[in-house]
Each structure stands twice: as structure tokens, then as C-alpha cells.
Amino acid sequence: MIHDFHYLKPGTLKEALAMYAEHEDCKVICGGQSLLIVMRQGMIAPENLLDIKHLNELNYIKFDEKDGLRLGATTTHRAIEKSEVIKKYYPALVAMENKLASIQVRNWGTIGGNLAHADPAGDPAPLLIALKANIKVGSAKGERVMPLDEFFVDYFEIAMEKGELVLEVHVPVTQPKTGIAYQKFNYLTNDMGIVGVAASVTLNGGNTCKDARVVLGNAGPTPRRSKKAEEFLIGKALNDDVFAEAGKIASEDCEPVADIHASEDFRRHVIGVLTKRMLKKAFEEAQGK
């Protein structure tokens, strides 16, 4: 049962930030597709609930060929999935959203809420980190921007100070000759991933790897880059053997835990396989550009 709370409904972002600064023991609700579940389970029982779902100031998709993509925090998953401009410039984002939970959840759930919830099994974070996204947070005192891979601190914990809200996700322009791929492994297509892997590969002319990212989902307390796999890839002439070796490195460079869905060993195995496959897919896409 959900515990009673004091409901705060700000009219503007400025008002929201002021309210958030004023109230102790305050949680923020946007789409609430994850939050209401944990509230119902009694895992959290905040005294105050600040609703920002209706703040249209934060509901936007902006794209500029020099600046890249900017997603306001209250933009829904479905808006991202249906965006023509995202489909054109970041097709991997559309493919990821298409497999995120269900249509109903995507219609109401938001990108800012998903990231702030910081479930290590969440889909957007690994892919956005592979895309080198930044996240903008702000409080009544001011705003700051950090790389998304520094945003996640621990299970459901993020690098935000008291009174700060997620405001925007910024995805820079993808470098030329770059391919991006994400896949999660699960038993039902749209479930949360037992594990997931996002990979980006930038080629340096020919088949040599100029830059790479390997980001693992649900392979530890936070979405995490396998920097060892990335270092191994950069500068190498890419082929299937290199992808397999990078997969092996990634499968050892993570901290998955066993649960009812899979053992630790199985998770490591799948991380290795998915890393290999996603690198190959990203590589082939980069070659085609």
C-alpha cells in the first residue's frame, strides 16, 4: 500500500526547484512508471511528492546538426520512439525505445525519470553512454552538466545534490564512420534485460578502431563501461577474433549478481556474447558510412 504523502504540484520549473529546495524528505515523480511500483511495495515512503510530469518546459526534442540532440527530462519514451529526426540521426535510440517495456509505459514514462530512477537494468542509460551523452541537472542555485557515465553512483543512486532535478539529456553529434548498437538479453522481448550491452565503434579509415565504447547494463550496481575492453579495441584492426576477445574481457570486467532470472556465470557468458555481437554490428554499420 502506498503511504500517505503531501502532494506538490508546481506550475513552472522555477517553482518546482523552489519547492524541492524547501521540502525535506521529498521524492520527485514524473511518469512514475517505476516509482509508483516501489512506493506500492513500501520500499520508499516519502513525506512529500513533487510532481513534474506536467512541466512542458522540459518536454522537448531539439536537434541541431552541430549541437546534436537535446531531450527535455519530461519527454516521453514514446515521443523519442516516434521522432523522425531521432530515427534519422540516432536510429539505435529508436530501436532501444521500441523494446522498452510496453506501449502504455512508453506513452507515460519519461527519459528523465528513467535515468533518475537509476535501475541498473534500465535500457536507455547504456546506449546513451555509448552515444557519449551528457546530463544536465539543476537546482534553485544553478545548473551543471556531467557526462552520463559519471551520473550513476550505485544501485538506484545518482550523483545529484539535494534539490537538484534532471533537466536535459544531451547527445552530441555522432562522429563520422561510427556505428552504434544495443541489445538486451531476456526471455520476453520487452522485459528488462537480464543483461544488456551497448557498443559504439568509430573507424579510422579502413578497419582500424579509432574509438570505441562498451557499456554494460545490469552487469553491476550501475550501467558501466568496460574500459578494459575499450582500451583493448582502440588502435586494433577489427575482426571477429578481436570482437570475441573484447567480449571475453568485458565478461570479466564487470560485477553481475545472481538473482531469480540468471546466475552470475550465465550473466558473464551472455555479456561476452552480446559484446562480441554488438561490436560486430556497430563495426559493420561504421563500415557502411
User: Which member of 29, 50, 167, 242 binds other proteins (CB under 8 A)?
Assistant: 29
- Residue 181 DSSP SS3: strand
Residues 4-23 that bind other proteins (CB under 8 A): 4-7, 9
The secondary structure of residue 156, as a DSSP letter, is: T
| Interface region with other proteins, contact rule CB under 8 A, candidates 96-104, 148-156, 199-207, 269-277 | 96-104
Residue 289 and residue 281: Cα distance in Å, rounded?
A: 13
- Residue 102 DSSP SS3: coil
| Interface region with other proteins, contact rule CB under 8 A, candidates 13-21, 34-42, 222-230, 255-263 | 34-42
Smallest Cα–Cα separation from 93: which of 201, 202, 174, 191? Answer: 174
| Helices 240-252/264-287 angle, 10° precision | 140
User: Contact letters (x/-) for other proteins, 186-205, by CB under 8 A?
Assistant: ---xx---------------
Is residue 42 involved in binding other proteins (CB under 8 A)?
A: no
The secondary structure of residue 110, as a DSSP letter, is: B
Smallest Cα–Cα separation from 129: which of 208, 219, 5? Answer: 219
Is residue 155 involved in binding other proteins (CB under 8 A)?
A: no
| Interface region with other proteins, contact rule CB under 8 A, candidates 29-37, 244-252, 263-271, 275-283 | 29-37
CB of 49 to other proteins, least distance (A): 7
User: Contact letters (x/-) for other proteins, 102-121, by CB under 8 A?
Assistant: xxxx-xx-------------
Residue 287 and residue 289: Cα distance in Å, rounded?
A: 5
Residue 107 and residue 110: Cα distance in Å, rounded?
A: 8
Give the interface with other proteins as residue ranges (CB under 8 A). Answer: 2-7, 9, 29, 32-33, 36-37, 40, 49, 51, 53-54, 78, 101-105, 107-108, 189-190
